[in-house]
Amino acid sequence: LYARAADLLRSLLFDYDAEHDADLGATAEAFAAAYGEVSRTAEALFQHPNTVRYRLKKIKEVLSVQDATDRELAALLALAYLV
């Protein structure tokens, strides 16, 4: 059950990326690996922190968790990408 839920989260981002030529999946994975730190995520992706913040906002929209804090989002993404 857990594996299917993690697959669903990743597939939602993958599908969005494919449809919109975006990098939400890579950003989500990097954000989880950086334990929710925007600056570390930006460094890992060679992106400006504001770009990462914009992508995080889009990730929340795609996953329908707009009210989640960045810390909550990082925890959710860690379950989907790091376990």
Q: Which two tokens stand for residue 80?
A: 């989907």
Q: Which two tokens stand for residue 12?
A: 């939602």
Q: Kindly indicate the confidence band of residue 17, based on its pLDDT and cuts at 50, 70 and 90.
A: very high
d(CA 18, CA 37): 26
Q: Kindly indicate the confidence band of residue 1, based on its pLDDT and cuts at 50, 70 and 90.
A: confident
d(CA 29, CA 78): 8
The overall average pLDDT reported for the chain is 96
- Whole-model pTM over 0.85: yes
